[in-house]
Amino acid sequence: SGVIHAGLYYPHTSLKSMLCVRGRKMLYNYCKERGVAHRKCGKLIVATNNKQIEVLEGLKGKAEMAGVTDLKWMTGEEVTLMEKDVKCVKALLSPSTGIVDVHALMSAIQVDCESSGVMFAFNTTVLSGKPQTLASNSSIVLTCNNNFNLECSTVINCAGLAAHTVARSIIPSNVPL
């Protein structure tokens, strides 16, 4: 999506929360080191009436328990000075939320991975997979479209909404995903 999330919304005990808070810091550092365009532009979460302030207070408490320590309260007037078309009674500013050039980020990651021996198989459909064990070596042989087989020690399934279909084509149906 191009959004660098601060980690506001997840339960503080969840892996998602931990990875989001830690990953945000790592991502900003990575982008800076690799020259990937990004901006720590912040985000406003607004309350348009007094009842919604309670919701923001709960959100702030949850975020702080998760390690998000930079949230700041803003008055409606302060928000309007910052964003003239936004009208609210109060808001939380999340200054560590940002945006990143996703294509530049993926290109940088690809270069780093390939320099470490990773092979990408873009525009390739995984049809099935079969675990192989030979002596002390385990691998997975993927059967792909275009009569293409790929033997690998690690598979990273980045199939998005189809990830479960790809996983199920490799993992037997009696094994839970």
Q: What is the pTM of this model?
A: 0.80
Q: Which of 41-45, 69-73, 102-106, 128-132 has the lowest mean pLDDT?
A: 128-132
Say if residue 175's pLDDT is above 70: yes
* Averaged pLDDT for residues 151-171: 87
| DSSP H/E element including 2 | none
* Residue 135, pLDDT score: 65
DSSP-assigned letters across all residues of 9-63: SS-TTSHHHHHHHHHHHHHHHHHHHHT--EE---EEEEESSHHHHHHHHHHHHHH
pLDDT tops 90 at residue 113: yes
- Reading the block at residue 177, the tokens are 């995903």
